[in-house]
Structure 1
Amino acid sequence: MGYATEEDAMIVPIPQMSRRLAQRFSRHQPNPEKAEQIFNNTLAVLVVNDFVQMLGIETDLLSSDSWNSVIRLVANVADLSILNLGKLECRAVKVGASTCSIPLEVWFDRIGYVIVEFDDFFKEGKLLGFLPQVTTTEIPLCQLQPLDVLLDHLTQLQTQPQESLLLEHFAKRPLDES
């Protein structure tokens, strides 16, 4: 399986309505850093939501943790609920970044990770690639897999029986060493 290249990236326009919603979510945060985090997380989720819906994949924004105002305040989450499959983590990076930070709190209970790069004016999001799982807090962007791997992954999850999904999920978890 190859890594994503610049040609593999998908550019998705960000409507003004999405920017307004991200601004509204970020407006009442305790500090500017948290406000920026929530703004970026919200936009990343909305860009990925638009992308997967264009492909006919059903989502449920309202059941995503990133849509819960209390969870947004206390956690660094950017999840998108994919109907009947699980949560896809949508992480934002700035133009020119070489890595993406993945907080420990989102290492589990995710069916994958999509990285989105924003232009300076937040007019478009570039979906850079995908990883089915993470094991470190800093992911080199050169390790991302192409978006068609994401589509294959979601298709495989749809056809896989739920019991084997649970077994696979728990098999990926590191043992508690305490």
Structure 2
Amino acid sequence: MKLLTVLLFVFFFTSNANACSLNQGYEPFRMSTSYQSTSIPKMTNASVISVERGFDDGNGGSCSDAGIIRVKIHDENPINRTGYKFRVLDSEIFSNLFPSEPVIASALNRSENEFVFVWYDLGETHNQEMKFTLEITAVSYFGNESEPFQLLIQQASK
């Protein structure tokens, strides 16, 4: 009887806890010097799919405070054997949004060669106009790098 009372109490007096959980849209790219190749990746081409800025909706468990940038790579390099370096050229504030090491698109987005970058947008970047140049460099397993490609990322703050 006590067990039934406890179960009924738990059932009726608890609420659902919905926490924000967003995964980055990339994984580490593991280079290997044992993969002997002198080929240099071709210079990449990329486009911005979307830029979403975070906002405070009053719900601490939601993901509304997350900023999200989606970038699609369009090139002839093999998707599963090419990593990419991302570097912000002209903005100190947004320079930490991107990984410092080469990455590959996550398994969920790899066939589309789409990268998703997520950050907390209510901190230092909040109310800052987003306009910067992103340098993207293709990297082979052996560490050979392509010529860099420059992509303008732009979105006015809310």
- Does TM-score exceed 0.5, indicating one fold? no
Ranked by relative contact order (alpha carbons within 8 Å, sequence separation 6 or more), the top structure is 2
* Structure (1 or 2) with the larger CA radius of gyration: 2
Q: Which structure shows the higher strand fraction?
A: 2
